């Protein structure tokens, strides 16, 4: 009993009192000693947590005295006590106690009866509802049979085996030497073999590094070996071979050096995601400076924080960002627009001077405060991670990596390096948050199902939902691998490999994160820093060569989270002697895979749409902004159509109640928080629920309603009191769209000055709003325009500007060939000149009837063909129906009346023509056109465009009606 209670207190560090029940034969009176019958009663013994410095002998005496004391009162049946005390029963759990111990006296495993020897082969214990049941049976020969049972609904067989081993381990530790009276806290909790197993499972392969010690040196090697091969291709149809990329990196590096940027200086790269951005990043790496990604998708406040915290020496901008720089508070920072950096072949090669211990990049967490933490990533961290990833993920059939992650997200660096670090045909995935892929499925599920060349997807940053896995399964792409990934930015992108999600399984089991990646070590620890064995949860702590240098300018936070690694292994002997405490809870499965359970209870950090948010600091910001008006604020994560933050606040008793609603209306605008951290709703309450320890019960608050109601029952913040001027028709319709998509929007007083993000909007909801605007207003504003113009009045101006595009009097009729099942209501409503025909570019005759084909041929004066399947990852045979066969069908319409055809081709074909400079060219004869791509169809998009060009040119050699437009990326 003393060992059992010691074990339980070790497993329940926050519990100071436990109850253990014992079985009592209830035959203490001699009158009943010979009576046949069932007199069993249950006796409950209460134990208080002993001091770790108390002796084990004291624990034995205390347990003995408590048991004897309880047995003195065992005559009263437990059921009578429960009835008299009014304690509720349950069909699923025992009342009062959940641990049962049965020390069976007089019953033996082996016995002699009537001259025969009997031995029990199996025991059938009662199937009671105790969480833990320990059965002890002593034999005459001194052996003891221990049987432990755990609730199957709560524990696995591995848990049961481990707990019994641990009980025996403690029993042996306390009794091994009768001359030593150990302190109760002296023995280790877990058996040594289980700790050894945990350390073995958590250590990734010890991979000797073969690459140079920094990524820029590795890229130099690849450039030297694969100069003529394609390295980068962006959405602007620009392609760069490795030698072209090297030349551009060199030009940018020379410009940085000429501006006085040196090793260790911070360079902010503030550009749109394109080939120029990648070249800028590698130029910063090459000269030994520190790369600071700055993304237009982030709020101005967040960008200001990055500039203020890092104090960059220079900002590299482009045409899309130059106008925003004045808002960043960077007046004293040097600026270079990459458009002004010209190629100069006379410049010498800039030597790569990056050092392994140098800081390669500063990446900001997605937001634990109004001033997010800047994580300092060393060059050696990137090298260790990417070389290990290259070895563990394996080869495949693809040579393209989709770069779609926000530039401020650590995945963006990973995506670019993955595509370039060895120039081989690599099996590389597209990487992203689960919520990002959920948005893909929500808005473009049909097109995703056509991506036959899609081979791999790596998910990370937040938990993967069952719904997302179901969406991937529904694609039925036979070669697609979906891999669950885990690893905070503080440990360089990803700490695990191999967490593949089975898409062919009937059901969905636990989504495992995978096993420790090469040169990573993963530990699961209790709150005292002790290693937990497999199957036992604890805090996930990560070590190895990719643990970063800590937080910029935050020594206390760095010291708390980046701690020395006390475990002696090959990694620590390699000077990789720091561990990062993630604050995540998880455990190792018996096969070595890591299962991430979520955040540690009591830790208030959550993830919302991929952003890490420290709830406690949002609460502090609310209280600080109130200037003493609000005494308590508790923020919880809620979910309606989308996830959002809700705040419950308690006003100071001195603040007049009639003024509280008006006060909350203005509070939102004063919060010094980025938009994604602002509560969507603030609800006033009289009191907050408390735990038994008189602390605020966050779990109870999370269950409190956030219904907005009406009148003065609650306050919903929109930033500014409602304007008296009435809304016009466009303003009214746009406001209604806000209300339709924003969760918990009922009751928001949305007026001209209301901010979309202040009333509960988010970047994901803004995508939905953009779609509604296109549908209802026949306008196509860009997403970043809507993000900047987030107030209703500014957003209306953007919509109006997009609606007022000039119409040409020269156009009498516009025939539009549109895919079937497309919503054409907005298109038709845009002008009376528009006439829509349902057509499928991939089908014969474009699925048009003979009558429609004849009508279009007779009434069209110009054919403008800009439709295409731009899936760069698909091969020629997949793209041929849309990109070539459709051109032949349009030629049938053009031929009878020799209608001019304006065909938009691809400037990427110049990669196969030997040309490196130029503008749009117009070609009239086939023999003037020599840009043939590879015949094996691997560059499918360019090959299909080349085939269409060739067809039209040959058809038009003896006529003058066809105009072929070949756009170049730099035109």
- List the domain boundaries for the chain: 2-189, 191-205+379-540+574-603, 624-801, 839-966
DSSP conformational letter for 176? S
pLDDT range class, residue 660, cuts 50, 70, 90: confident
Is residue 719 predicted with pLDDT exceeding 50?
no
Q: Torsions phi, psi of 636, nearest 5?
A: -130, 155
Cα–Cα distance measured from residue 595 to residue 484, given in angstroms and rounded to the nearest whole number: 11
Q: Torsions phi, psi of 627, nearest 5?
A: 55, 45
Which DSSP string do the residues of 124-137 spell out, in sequence order?
A: -------SEEEEEE
Tokens standing for residue 145: 């049979």
Mean pLDDT across the stretch 117-142? 76
Tokens standing for residue 550: 């800590």
Contact (Cβ atoms closer than 8 angstroms) between residue 613 and residue 566: no
**Per-residue pLDDT tens over the stretch 486-500:** 999 999 988 998 788
Mean pLDDT across the stretch 808-829? 78
Helix and strand counts by DSSP (H, E) for the chain = 27, 36
pLDDT top residue among 273 and 966: 273
Mean pLDDT across the stretch 25-54? 80
CATH number of 2-189: 3.30.559.30
Question: Beta 605-608 vs 594-599: how paired, if at all?
Answer: unpaired
Q: Torsions phi, psi of 623, nearest 5?
A: -65, -40
Q: How high is the pLDDT of residue 523? A: 97
Q: How high is the pLDDT of residue 808? A: 64
Residues with Cβ within 8 Å of 452's Cβ and at least 6 positions away in sequence, in order, are 477, 874, 878
Mean pLDDT across the stretch 894-906? 85
Q: How high is the pLDDT of residue 27? A: 67
pLDDT range class, residue 107, cuts 50, 70, 90: low
Mean pLDDT across the stretch 500-516? 78
- Please state which of the ranges 31-45, 64-78, 875-889, 894-908 shows the lowest mean pLDDT: 31-45
Q: How high is the pLDDT of residue 920? A: 41
Is residue 151 predicted with pLDDT exceeding 70?
yes
Is residue 91 predicted with pLDDT exceeding 70?
no
Q: How high is the pLDDT of residue 222? A: 93
Q: Report in angstroms the alpha-carbon separations of 440 from 242, 400, 443, 464.
A: 31, 19, 6, 15
Q: How high is the pLDDT of residue 693? A: 43
Mean pLDDT across the stretch 34-45? 78
Q: How high is the pLDDT of residue 929? A: 53
Cα–Cα distance measured from residue 393 to residue 882, given in angstroms and rounded to the nearest whole number: 34
Is residue 704 predicted with pLDDT exceeding 70?
yes
pLDDT top residue among 694 and 826: 826
Q: How high is the pLDDT of residue 709? A: 41
Q: Which residue has the tokens 């070609």?
A: 923
Q: How high is the pLDDT of residue 63? A: 93
pLDDT top residue among 428 and 822: 822
Q: How high is the pLDDT of residue 370? A: 41
Is residue 717 predicted with pLDDT exceeding 60?
no
Cα–Cα distance measured from residue 321 to residue 269, given in angstroms and rounded to the nearest whole number: 10
Mean pLDDT across the stretch 265-275? 93
Q: How high is the pLDDT of residue 217? A: 97
Is residue 876 predicted with pLDDT exceeding 50?
yes
Is residue 747 predicted with pLDDT exceeding 90?
no
The percent of residues in the chain predicted with pLDDT above 70, rounded, is: 84
**Per-residue pLDDT tens over the stretch 409-429:** 788 888 888 878 765 443 344
CATH of 191-205+379-540+574-603 among 3.10.20.340, 3.40.50.12780, 1.10.760.10, 3.40.50.720: 3.40.50.12780
Q: How high is the pLDDT of residue 358? A: 97
Global confidence as pTM: 0.71
Does this chain's domain 2-189 share its CATH topology with 191-205+379-540+574-603? no
Q: Which fold has domain 839-966?
A: Rossmann fold (3.40.50)
pLDDT top residue among 345 and 940: 940
Is residue 134 predicted with pLDDT exceeding 90?
yes
Q: How high is the pLDDT of residue 106? A: 59
Q: How high is the pLDDT of residue 971? A: 33
Residues with Cβ within 8 Å of 295's Cβ and at least 6 positions away in sequence, in order, are 406, 407, 408
Strand ranges of the sheet holding 681-684, from the earlier edge strand across to the other edge: 630-639, 643-651, 681-684
Cα–Cα distance measured from residue 278 to residue 273, given in angstroms and rounded to the nearest whole number: 8
Q: How high is the pLDDT of residue 745? A: 55
Q: C-alpha dihedral over 531, 533, 537, 540, to 10 degrees?
A: 40
Element (H, E) at 102: strand 99-104
Radius of gyration from C-alpha coordinates of the chain: 35
- Please state which of the ranges 460-464, 781-785, 944-948 shows the lowest mean pLDDT: 460-464
Element (H, E) at 330: none
- Please state which of the ranges 143-152, 373-382, 430-439, 568-577 shows the lowest mean pLDDT: 430-439
Q: How high is the pLDDT of residue 942? A: 86
pLDDT range class, residue 720, cuts 50, 70, 90: very low
Q: How high is the pLDDT of residue 425? A: 40
Element (H, E) at 160: helix 157-175
Q: How high is the pLDDT of residue 223? A: 94
Q: How high is the pLDDT of residue 885? A: 93
Mean pLDDT across the stretch 727-739? 85
HSE (CB half, 13 Å, CA atoms) of 783?
11
pLDDT range class, residue 887, cuts 50, 70, 90: very high
- Please state which of the ranges 59-63, 375-379, 734-738, 819-823 shows the lowest mean pLDDT: 819-823
CA proximity to 52, closest of 240, 183, 236? 183
- Please state which of the ranges 681-690, 798-807, 950-959 shows the lowest mean pLDDT: 798-807
Cα–Cα distance measured from residue 375 to residue 365, given in angstroms and rounded to the nearest whole number: 7
CA proximity to 662, closest of 705, 735, 716? 716
Tokens standing for residue 837: 């025909």
* H-assigned helices in 562-679: 570-573, 615-625, 660-667
- Average of per-residue pLDDT values in the chain: 82
Q: How high is the pLDDT of residue 506? A: 61
Q: How high is the pLDDT of residue 82? A: 82
pLDDT range class, residue 509, cuts 50, 70, 90: low
Q: How high is the pLDDT of residue 958? A: 59
User: Is 473 exposed, middle or buried (CB count within 10 Å of its CB: 0-12, 13-18, 19+)?
Assistant: middle
Tokens standing for residue 331: 């007046």
CA geometry: angle 676, 679, 681, nearest 5 deg? 140
Mean pLDDT across the stretch 810-819? 88
Is residue 538 predicted with pLDDT exceeding 90?
yes
**Per-residue pLDDT tens over the stretch 205-263:** 998 889 999 999 999 999 999 999 888 888 767 889 999 999 999 999 999 999 999 99
Q: Torsions phi, psi of 519, nearest 5?
A: 65, 20
Residues β-bridged to residue 834: 814
Q: How high is the pLDDT of residue 657? A: 85
Q: How high is the pLDDT of residue 132? A: 93
DSSP conformational letter for 183? B
- Please state which of the ranges 308-312, 337-341, 676-680, 840-844 shows the lowest mean pLDDT: 676-680
Q: How high is the pLDDT of residue 624? A: 85
Mean pLDDT across the stretch 148-174? 92
Q: Which residue has the tokens 């885990």?
A: 486
CATH number of 624-801: 3.30.300.30
Contact (Cβ atoms closer than 8 angstroms) between residue 249 and residue 283: yes
**Per-residue pLDDT tens over the stretch 922-945:** 444 444 455 677 777 778 888 898
């Amino acid at each position: 009993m003393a060992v059992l209670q010691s074990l339980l207190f070790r497993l329940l560090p926050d519990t100071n009192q436990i109850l253990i029940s014992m079985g009592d034969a209830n035959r203490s009176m001699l009158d009943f000693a010979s009576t046949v019958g069932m007199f069993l009663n249950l006796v409950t013994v209460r134990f208080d947590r002993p001091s770790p410095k108390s002796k084990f002998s004291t624990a034995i005496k205390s347990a003995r005295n408590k048991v004897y004391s309880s047995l003195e009162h065992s005559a009263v049946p437990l059921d009578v006590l429960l009835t008299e005390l009014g304690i509720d029963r349950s069909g699923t759990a025992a009342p009062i106690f959940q641990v049962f111990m049965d020390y069976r006296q007089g019953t033996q495993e082996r016995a002699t009866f009537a001259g025969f020897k009997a031995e029990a082969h199996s025991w059938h214990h009662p199937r009671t509802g105790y969480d833990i049941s320990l059965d002890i049976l002593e034999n005459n020969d001194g052996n003891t049979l221990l049987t432990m049972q755990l609730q199957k609904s709560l524990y696995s067989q591995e848990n049961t085996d481990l707990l019994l081993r641990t009980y025996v381990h403690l029993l042996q530790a306390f009794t091994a030497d009768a001359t030593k009276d150990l302190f109760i806290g002296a023995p280790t909790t877990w058996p040594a073999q289980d700790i050894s197993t945990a350390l073995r499972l958590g250590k990734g392969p010890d991979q000797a590094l073969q690459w140079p010690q920094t990524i820029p040196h590795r890229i130099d090697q690849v450039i030297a070996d694969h100069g003529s091969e394609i390295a980068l291709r962006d959405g602007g149809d620009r392609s760069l071979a490795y030698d072209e990329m090297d030349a551009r990196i060199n030009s940018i590096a020379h410009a940085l050096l000429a501006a006085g940027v040196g090793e260790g200086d911070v360079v902010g790269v503030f550009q749109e995601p394109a080939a120029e951005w990648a070249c800028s990043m590698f130029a910063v790496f090459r000269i030994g400076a520190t790369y600071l990604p700055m993304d237009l998708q982030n709020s101005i406040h967040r960008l200001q924080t990055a500039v203020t915290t890092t104090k960059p020496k220079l900002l590299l901008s482009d045409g899309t960002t130059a106008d925003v720089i004045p808002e960043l508070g960077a007046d004293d920072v040097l600026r270079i627009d990459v458009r002004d950096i010209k190629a100069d072949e006379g410049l010498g090669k800039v030597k790569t001077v990056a050092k392994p211990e140098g800081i390669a990049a500063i990446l900001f967490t997605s937001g634990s405060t109004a001033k997010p933490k800047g994580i300092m990533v060393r060059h050696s961290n990137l090298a260790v991670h990417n070389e290990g990833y290259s070895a563990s993920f394996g080869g495949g059939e693809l040579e393209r990596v989709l770069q779609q992650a926000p530039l401020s997200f650590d995945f963006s660096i990973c995506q670019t390096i993955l595509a370039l670090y060895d120039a081989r045909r690599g099996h590389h995935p597209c990487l992203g948050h689960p919520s990002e892929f959920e948005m893909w499925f929500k808005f473009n599920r049909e097109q995703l199902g056509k991506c036959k060349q899609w081979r791999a997807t790596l998910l990370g940053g937040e938990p993967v939902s069952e719904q997302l896995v179901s969406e991937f399964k529904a694609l039925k792409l036979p070669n697609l691998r979906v891999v669950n990934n885990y690893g905070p930015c503080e440990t360089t992108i990803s700490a695990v490999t191999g967490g593949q999600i089975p898409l062919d399984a009937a059901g969905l089991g636990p989504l495992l994160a995978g096993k420790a990646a090469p040169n990573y070590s993963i530990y699961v620890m209790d709150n005292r820093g002790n290693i937990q064995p497999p199957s036992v949860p604890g805090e996930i702590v990560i070590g190895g060569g990719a643990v970063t240098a800590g937080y910029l300018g935050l020594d206390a936070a760095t010291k708390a989270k980046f701690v020395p690694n006390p475990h002696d292994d090959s990694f620590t002997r390699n000077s990789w002697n720091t561990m990062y405490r993630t604050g995540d809870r998880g455990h190792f499965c018996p096969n070595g895979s890591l299962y991430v359970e979520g955040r540690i209870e009591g830790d208030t950090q959550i993830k919302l749409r991929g952003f890490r948010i420290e709830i406690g600091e949002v609460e502090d910001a609310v209280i600080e902004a109130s200037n003493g008006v609000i005494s308590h604020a508790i923020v919880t994560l809620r979910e309606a159509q989308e996830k959002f933050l809700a705040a419950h606040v308690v006003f100071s008793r001195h603040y007049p109640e009639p003024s509280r609603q008006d006060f909350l209306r203005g509070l939102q605008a004063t919060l010094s928080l980025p938009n994604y951290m602002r509560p969507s709703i603030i609800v006033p309450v009289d009191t907050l629920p408390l735990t038994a320890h008189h602390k605020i019960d966050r779990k109870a608050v999370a269950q409190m309603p956030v219904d907005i109601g009406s009148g003065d029952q609650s306050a919903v913040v929109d930033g500014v009191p409602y304007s008296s001027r009435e809304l016009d028709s466009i303003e009214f319709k746009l406001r209604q769209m806000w209300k339709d998509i924003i969760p918990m929007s009922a009751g928001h007083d949305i007026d001209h000055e209301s901010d979309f993000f202040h009333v509960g909007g988010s970047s994901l909801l803004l995508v939905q709003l953009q779609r509604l605007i296109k549908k209802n207003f026949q306008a196509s504003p860009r997403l970043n325009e809507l993000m900047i113009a987030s107030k209703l009045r500014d957003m209306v101006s953007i919509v109006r500007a997009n609606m007022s595009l000039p119409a040409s009097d020269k156009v009498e009729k516009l025939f539009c060939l549109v895919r079937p099942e497309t919503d054409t209501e907005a298109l038709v409503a845009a002008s009376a000149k528009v006439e829509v025909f349902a057509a499928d570019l991939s089908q014969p005759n474009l699925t048009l009837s003979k009558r429609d084909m004849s009508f279009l041929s007779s009434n069209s004066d110009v054919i403008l063909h800009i439709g295409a399947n731009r899936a760069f990852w698909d091969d020629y045979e997949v793209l041929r129906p849309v990109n070539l066969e459709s051109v032949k069908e349009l030629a049938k319409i053009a031929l009878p009346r020799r209608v001019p055809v304006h065909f938009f081709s691809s400037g990427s074909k110049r990669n196969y023509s030997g040309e490196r400079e130029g503008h749009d060219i117009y070609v009239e004869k086939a023999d003037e056109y020599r840009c043939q791509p590879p015949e094996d169809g691997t560059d499918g998009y360019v090959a299909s465009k080349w085939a269409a060009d060739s067809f039209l040119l040959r058809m038009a050699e003896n006529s003058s009606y066809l105009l072929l437009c070949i756009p170049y990326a730099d035109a």
